[in-house]
Structure 1
Amino acid sequence: MGVSLESFNNILLSLDGMLGSAWWFPYLLLGVGVFFTLYLGFPQLRYFGHAIKILQGKYDKPGDPGDTSHFQALSTALSGTVGTGNIGGVGLAIFLGGPAALFWMWVTAFLGMTTKFVEVTLSHKYRIKAADGYYAGGPMFYMERRLNMKWLAVMFAIATVICSFGTGSLPQVNNIAQAMHDTFGINKALTGGVLAILLGLVIIGGISRIAKVTSTIVPVMAVIYVIGALAVILYNYENIIPSFVAVFSDAFNGSSAVGGFLGASFAYAFNRGVNRGLFSNEAGQGSAPIAHAAARADEPVSEGMVSLLEPFIDTIIICTLTGLVILSSGAWTEKHMNRFERADLVALAGDYTDENPEHVAQLFNFLSGGESKIERFTGTIVVADGRALNEDEYTLINARSVAEDVVYRVAGDDFSGTLKVVDGRFLNEDINIWGNSLVHSVALTNIAFQRGFFGDYGSLIVTLGILMFAFSTAIAWSYYGDRSMIYLFGPKSVMPYRLVYVVAFFWAAIEDTTVIWNLSAVAIVIMTLPNLFGITILAREMKDTVKEYWSDPSHK
């Protein structure tokens, strides 16, 4: 199973290298945002106040068609975005790209406010009342009804179903189970089983029950999370300004090596920041329009304006707080005792240390895919009572850092014997490797939250945040998936889809975190590309629709 999982992870990494991690994807995503920001005259600034008034119901009319209120639609869409990306995703971005990654998350969010405004407006304009009696919308409907590109609509809908697992189900429960295990020692399978049952009970009720649940969970958890984050940031107040300086100074140069962190180039920080920014707020992905299509509104532009608040809340507020917690606490540069995941682990030939500047430069080139003389280790490791006897022959790199104080165990006991390593990978599937190294994703955020006024209790806020945010994300994405299934196969396909969705939700609770993050990265891009293509073609119609909206005196 370990070998097959590793092979699958390698396939995902190869696909991600051609898609989300490719040089062209961040430029495409930001380019569309820049184009619409300029073309529509900075709507994220000009319409921000008006969007808040719409959200408050000041322009509502009796009898407006739809199934939910503006606030419920926003909450459902936010529940689909505010999740592991805000907690674990920020930790992963900083782990990979350093402080500079946070800067590019901000840029992605600012431009994403316009992108989301466009995609929601166009999708809401061409929504329909589905055969099940509820409204259905999303990019697939404008692709078919306006662009007459049924093939593109089908491609998007299929990608949405796949992404409902890659974004909505799999990484969410994986992070919940990990957080519950790390904080309370609860078995991952037990967490997955209980939450799978609760998920099934919620999504069977459709959009009405989903909207009620998410509009309750999201506001409450947002307040709790903000309080917890500020407790860390203010506790480490002397690091607030240096953290901001690092974010801006590294933005165009990359981040230098510090502590266990081996550094990150500009290109890497830029790519990871944009990629994680998209994972967090989903601007351009085409997911939010599906939730907003259910809102009671007869003006597509009004719902589009409500949606531009999402990247602001999701990324510029919540992700920034998470980022400042991680940076101000210093946890991102420190090594922590942890069990090494196989996908994060590689053995190198030779003895390297991160205290030697020459070694750091060589390791940085190796990890960045540049020219490097470093070779992967192939050979035998002799172990006695959990410790390697020939550790001067190789160096373990875990989570992009030099591992220290490494212990080899089997079934909880220190191992004695020999371990075979081929091309840097361990062949012994039953061996567990522990040691000090950098950590990432939820584990990093969890440690950082313990560096504040609440001390160790800070991890409870992360655990609660993961539980509520991620669970609500899974709920929202089940709705995106079932609307896409209705589009593709009709109402009868919804129940089988929900069943598979719940089963997959349970399965992902016990699988490798890194593999699931990589699956998500691939699925997101497959969904995003058709949507960016479609809204760009309809740029002129978007501008005319906005102009028509403002021609109505009641909107001013």
Structure 2
Amino acid sequence: MEKFQAINTWVNGIVWGWPLLIAILGTGIYFTVQTRFISFTKFPYIMKQTFFKMFSKSQVGEGEITAFQAVATALAATVGTGNIAGVGTAIAIGGPGAVFWMWIAALFGMATKFAEVVLSIEYREKTANGHFVGGPMYYIKNGTNMNWLAITFAVFGAVATFGIGNMVQSNSVADALNTTFGIDPFITGLVLATLAALVIFGGIKAIGKVTEILVPFMALVYIVGSLFVILFNIQALPAAFVLIFKEAFTGSAAVGGFVGSSFSLAVRYGIARGVFTNEAGLGSAPIAHAAATTDHPVRQGMWGVFEVFADTLILCTLTALVIVMTGAVETGLDGVSLTAAAFGMGLPFGEYIVTFGIIFFAFSTILGWSYYGERCVEFLFGPKATVFYRLVYLPLIVVGSVGGLRTVWALADTLNGLMAIPNLIGIGVLSPVVIRLTKNYFKKGGLYEKDQVL
């Protein structure tokens, strides 16, 4: 077992190392340029079509769930412990400057997520029972005919769900509740598994109905709590931004319990945590978007831009500002402990905000990733295999809550990164399709101009 862990650690270091990070960032830059900077030039229009139509029930086109239910499911899977623990880890190792590189990853990641979602709609399939299925395995298979590559993605995705989307999340909730309220981790696991089962067995429609309520609620509470900390320490806000921009290019000096970091660490951990939190390039979110009701791939693609914006540029930024403004980075803490300490330093009982965030963020991630895993398993073995998948997935929530199978966690983290390789190849080969569909949507007399008139 120790030998396996050593090998996995070595492979994980390569997977989440510079080559993949450069590939993901480079892909984002490429699609940003090729779509004529759609994430920036059309940002007001994108917000009009997404944020301001969040709860609209008037849907045009085919699909199983509303456009917002699709993005809520994707956000449910994306907004997880990475927004709390991941940001804390990035700053603890890479210093405050890592936040700047996290922003850079998100700004270009919006175009990557846009491309992924566009392709997921363009190449999705409608099953015999009326379900819409899609994602990297389908656009790779149907768009490039490289079935082996599609199967590779599905295998990586199916196994990764058990760790990164399941046991890691339940363990985070169990730890938080045990530390704060003394609740037995096993009890926490049973409750989480039961609640998850009630939703998961209802399929994508049930998941969508739950997440469209859960995601806005949990995001609002966390945002309000973060803003209170920032407002109570508003005098430190200008200095925090100066520190972030300054140390993005110089690294951090050792202060207090903080060991300091280099420019290289700031870039690496900033980009890595940015990718880890918004999942742009990993290929997971397009699986949920494929079920959306929409009249054009680009219209749903805009929800991909919104997804990255909300996850990283809003939620992760708030976490980062709280950590930097309160000076918690000098405590020498890491991950969730660092974030909890920062909220506690900035607001009476502020650590409860972190506990709340972990509970809801992690539970929503369990729901979202269960759907991703089902679709990957269905692609590999057929619809009947999804029942077996659920019967394995749900008990592992309890196993994770008590800290079991940590080797699986480590392997899942590696496979989570490996998902990006076939996905990046797929969207790279199919980039002309993304460009063609984008031009088609924004052409004279097209859907864009009709929306402007309306």
TM-score (norm: length of structure 1):
0.77
- Larger C-alpha radius of gyration, 1 or 2? 1
CA distance in 1, matches of 2:394, 2:32: 39
From the superposition, tell whether residues 234 and 514 of structure 1 become closer, same or farther in structure 2 (CA, over 3 Å). Answer: farther
* 2:343 pairs with one of 441, 449, 469: 449
From the superposition, tell whether residues 518 and 325 of structure 1 become closer, same or farther in structure 2 (CA, over 3 Å). Answer: farther
**Aligned-partner residue type, residue 341 of structure 2:** I
Residue in 2 that maps onto 1:12: 8
Pairwise mapping of residues 204-215 of structure 1 onto structure 2 (< 5 A)? Answer: 204-215=201-212
Following TM superposition, by how much is the alpha carbon of 1:235 offset from its aligned partner in structure 2, in angstroms? 2.1
Residue in 1 that maps onto 2:452: none
CA distance in 2, matches of 1:62, 1:250: 46
Contact 1:174 1:513 in 2 (8 A): no
* 1:553 pairs with one of 422, 446, 452: 446
Is the partner of 1:219 in helix, strand or coil?
Answer: helix
* 2:98 pairs with one of 101, 115, 122: 101
Following TM superposition, by how much is the alpha carbon of 1:14 offset from its aligned partner in structure 2, in angstroms? 0.9
Following TM superposition, by how much is the alpha carbon of 1:288 offset from its aligned partner in structure 2, in angstroms? 1.1
Report % sequence identity: 45
* 1:64 pairs with one of 42, 61, 67: 61
Is the partner of 2:65 in helix, strand or coil?
Answer: coil
Correspondence 1:440 to 2:437: no
CA distance in 1, matches of 2:234, 2:59: 49
**Aligned-partner residue type, residue 339 of structure 2:** T
CA distance in 1, matches of 2:401, 2:205: 27
Contact 2:8 2:414 in 1 (8 A): yes
CA RMSD across the alignment: 2.0
Following TM superposition, by how much is the alpha carbon of 1:63 offset from its aligned partner in structure 2, in angstroms? 5.8
Q: Deviations over 1:196-219 (max 9, x none)?
A: 111112101000110011111110
CA distance in 2, matches of 1:197, 1:151: 36
Following TM superposition, by how much is the alpha carbon of 1:11 offset from its aligned partner in structure 2, in angstroms? 3.3
Following TM superposition, by how much is the alpha carbon of 1:553 offset from its aligned partner in structure 2, in angstroms? 3.1
Residue in 2 that maps onto 1:433: none
Correspondence 1:274 to 2:262: no
CA distance in 1, matches of 2:42, 2:405: 39
Pairwise mapping of residues 108-127 of structure 1 onto structure 2 (< 5 A)? Answer: 108-127=105-124
Following TM superposition, by how much is the alpha carbon of 1:271 offset from its aligned partner in structure 2, in angstroms? 1.2
CA distance in 2, matches of 1:229, 1:62: 34
**Aligned-partner residue type, residue 23 of structure 2:** L
Residue in 2 that maps onto 1:249: 246
* 2:154 pairs with one of 154, 157, 162: 157
From the superposition, tell whether residues 79 and 31 of structure 1 become closer, same or farther in structure 2 (CA, over 3 Å). Answer: same
Following TM superposition, by how much is the alpha carbon of 1:523 offset from its aligned partner in structure 2, in angstroms? 2.3
Correspondence 1:37 to 2:32: yes
Contact 2:441 2:447 in 1 (8 A): no
From the superposition, tell whether residues 513 and 281 of structure 1 become closer, same or farther in structure 2 (CA, over 3 Å). Answer: farther
Is the partner of 1:262 in helix, strand or coil?
Answer: coil
* 1:51 pairs with one of 22, 46, 55: 46
Following TM superposition, by how much is the alpha carbon of 1:321 offset from its aligned partner in structure 2, in angstroms? 0.3
CA distance in 2, matches of 1:251, 1:514: 33
Pairwise mapping of residues 519-534 of structure 1 onto structure 2 (< 5 A)? Answer: 519-534=411-426
Greater relative contact order (Cα < 8 A, sep 6+): 2
CA distance in 2, matches of 1:554, 1:14: 49
Contact 1:279 1:524 in 2 (8 A): no
Contact 2:257 2:330 in 1 (8 A): yes
Residue in 2 that maps onto 1:476: 368
CA distance in 2, matches of 1:459, 1:519: 31
From the superposition, tell whether residues 110 and 62 of structure 1 become closer, same or farther in structure 2 (CA, over 3 Å). Answer: closer
Residue in 2 that maps onto 1:83: 80
Contact 1:54 1:60 in 2 (8 A): no
Q: Deviations over 1:35-86 (max 9, x none)?
A: 1111211111122222233335599976621011111111111111111111
Contact 1:167 1:523 in 2 (8 A): no
CA distance in 1, matches of 2:57, 2:143: 27
From the superposition, tell whether residues 506 and 537 of structure 1 become closer, same or farther in structure 2 (CA, over 3 Å). Answer: same
Is the partner of 2:249 in helix, strand or coil?
Answer: coil
CA distance in 2, matches of 1:85, 1:139: 23
Residue in 1 that maps onto 2:259: 262
Q: Deviations over 1:223-279 (max 9, x none)?
A: 110111122222222322222112111112222211111111221221111111111
CA distance in 2, matches of 1:261, 1:513: 31
Correspondence 1:184 to 2:181: yes
Correspondence 1:467 to 2:356: no
From the superposition, tell whether residues 515 and 92 of structure 1 become closer, same or farther in structure 2 (CA, over 3 Å). Answer: farther
CA distance in 2, matches of 1:165, 1:279: 16
From the superposition, tell whether residues 491 and 512 of structure 1 become closer, same or farther in structure 2 (CA, over 3 Å). Answer: closer
**Aligned-partner residue type, residue 502 of structure 1:** L
From the superposition, tell whether residues 60 and 48 of structure 1 become closer, same or farther in structure 2 (CA, over 3 Å). Answer: farther
Residue in 2 that maps onto 1:422: none
Following TM superposition, by how much is the alpha carbon of 1:475 offset from its aligned partner in structure 2, in angstroms? 0.1
Deviates more, 1:540-549 or 1:58-67: 58-67
CA distance in 1, matches of 2:329, 2:150: 42
Q: Deviations over 1:279-302 (max 9, x none)?
A: 100001111111111110121111
From the superposition, tell whether residues 513 and 461 of structure 1 become closer, same or farther in structure 2 (CA, over 3 Å). Answer: farther
CA distance in 2, matches of 1:239, 1:77: 34
Higher helix content, 1 or 2: 2
CA distance in 2, matches of 1:478, 1:441: 25
Aligned length: 446
Residue in 2 that maps onto 1:371: none
Residue in 1 that maps onto 2:430: 538
Contact 1:179 1:442 in 2 (8 A): no
* 2:312 pairs with one of 311, 315, 319: 315
Q: Deviations over 1:398-453 (max 9, x none)?
A: xxxxxxxxxxxxxxxxxxxxxxxxxxxxxxxxxxxxxxxx3321122111111233
**Aligned-partner residue type, residue 448 of structure 2:** H
Higher strand content, 1 or 2: 1
Q: Deviations over 1:139-194 (max 9, x none)?
A: 11111111001001000111111221232112211211111111111121221121
Is the partner of 1:533 in helix, strand or coil?
Answer: helix
From the superposition, tell whether residues 7 and 179 of structure 1 become closer, same or farther in structure 2 (CA, over 3 Å). Answer: farther
Following TM superposition, by how much is the alpha carbon of 1:508 offset from its aligned partner in structure 2, in angstroms? 1.2
Correspondence 1:27 to 2:22: yes
Contact 2:229 2:343 in 1 (8 A): yes
Correspondence 1:142 to 2:139: yes
**Aligned-partner residue type, residue 248 of structure 1:** F
CA distance in 2, matches of 1:9, 1:510: 20
Contact 1:175 1:513 in 2 (8 A): no
CA distance in 2, matches of 1:486, 1:222: 31
CA distance in 1, matches of 2:4, 2:192: 26
Contact 2:59 2:293 in 1 (8 A): no
Contact 1:132 1:491 in 2 (8 A): no
